[in-house]
Copies of this chain bind each other. A is one copy, B any other.
Amino acid sequence: MTAQPLNIQPLLEEGRENELASLLDTLHPADVAEALSPLDMEDTIKVVSLLDVAQAAEVLVELSESSRDQVTLGLPRDKLTQMVAEMDSDDAADIVGDLNEDAAEEVLKAIGDEESEDVRRLLMYDEETAGGLMQLELVAASGSDTVAKVINDIRAVSEDLGDLGCVYVVDQARALQGEISLKDLLLAYPGQTLGQLIQKAPGLVVRVDEDQKAVAQKFRKYDVRSAPVVDSQNRLLGRITVDDIIDVVDEETDKDFYRLAGSSEEEVYTSGAWRRAGLRLPWLLFNLGGGLLTSLIIDYFESSFQKTMALVAFVPMVMSLSGAVGSQSATITVRGLATGRIASGLIFRSLGMEQKVATIMALVFGLAVTLIAGTLHEAPRLGLAVGLSIGAAVLVSAFLGAVTPLFFRAVSVDPALASGPVVTSANDVASLLIYAAIGSSVA
């Protein structure tokens, strides 16, 4: 751990590369990755090439996804192959999976048969499922094995295992029978069999085709630190550890955030200005389109607006309030769905509650604006018109904000998509229409 990230640039410029390499080899890979982040791609590749193979492999895994892809492509092929051979199967599969077909074949041929078969098997699973998260390195034993034998098994593969929390007990068909924590193994007698030690079923068993979001939810719910992954016949295929789950939680939260922002994915932090603008622009087209519609609405009601200019004065307030209310409802609904606080069975109850809240807010703002607009322009009738229409716009916006994510989910579209520009543009049009219609008839 270092408090301040190491500043690599000066050492690189002064050509003190050996010094730099031996310094970086002593750091935690995550710290090296952090120190690399301000460098351009050429320098990053240069520094990764300087590291020893094991350290370089771990640093590569720690890099952000986009710079990892570029470093992978830029590294000498033989160095990359040595690094992949050092990695856990799940990390190796992530790296190889991002290569083009030829490069992937070349690396897989060079890393050794057993390792490459593992990677090939993992690459068959969808990246966003349990299969895409799991690693194959684990310890499985039979219920008739003794504790002493299992300890020897662990010893034999210890180097490849990294952290280990438990061993799995399987039958001859490799069907999962249970798990035994390392603590229980440590406290057992060498001659005891594993069958005698199994106390209860594992806290959590994951199916290989389960979506990573669902897997992350279950890890949270059951507070486990690792889970076995099985196929449809309950045969043990791999294991998922909680550190991978934290990455999934972050990834899914990122997605929800970016969709709120009307943008997408991590590239908004790592690519050039044109690309970043390109990622952010498409979402704003909803606002442009909504804006076009609102301009037509105002054209349509032009004579009323022109007659009562005070009506114009409150257009921005209507847009602002109903937009804010709508995105409040949408955000609360999206996050409620993501965390399970809005359960599938309780959707109508949740919508009903949202309408109650919206009614209260509509009354409060409607009254406040009636008084403000009426006093400001010394015209109670105008105040009433503005207040009424703001109340109605708030009511509709809250409803649209809450119902759109729920509707998206019902038709299997990511609810988070409903919380950004899509719902605000819909709100713009709906609330202006209500405002203009009520305003022009009352004022």
The CA of A298 and the CA of B313, in the complex, are separated in Å by 5
- Nearest CB in chain B: distance from A415 CB, A: 13
Question: Can you list 23 pairs linking A and B with CB atoms under 8 Å apart?
Answer: A28-B222, A34-B221, A154-B186, A164-B182, A182-B183, A186-B186, A225-B225, A225-B241, A242-B246, A257-B331, A260-B260, A261-B327, A261-B330, A263-B328, A269-B332, A273-B353, A277-B357, A283-B324, A287-B317, A298-B312, A299-B310, A316-B319, A319-B428
**Which chain A residues in 110-141 approach chain B with CB under 8 Å?**
none
- Other contacts beyond A246-B246, A291-B369, A316-B432: 8, CB < 8 A: A37-B343, A158-B183, A158-B187, A163-B181, A261-B328, A291-B320, A298-B313, A316-B428
* A257 / chain B contacts, CB cutoff of 8 Å: 256, 331, 335
Structural contact, B339 and A316, CB atoms closer than 8 A: no
Q: Which residue of B lies closest to A321 (CB)?
A: B287
Contact with B along A323-338 (1 / 0, CB 8 A): 1110110111001100
Structural contact, B319 and A320, CB atoms closer than 8 A: yes
Does A75 lie at the interface of the complex (its beta carbon under 8 Å from any beta carbon of B)? no
| Majority-rule SS of A interface residues | helix
- Interface stretch, picked from A77-85, A92-100, A229-237, A359-367, is A359-367
The CA of A165 and the CA of B318, in the complex, are separated in Å by 57
Does A351 lie at the interface of the complex (its beta carbon under 8 Å from any beta carbon of B)? no
Contact with B along A344-387 (1 / 0, CB 8 A): 01100000010011001100110011001100100000000000
Structural contact, A317 and B288, CB atoms closer than 8 A: yes
Q: Which residue of B lies closest to A330 (CB)?
A: B261
Q: Which residue of B lies closest to A253 (CB)?
A: B253
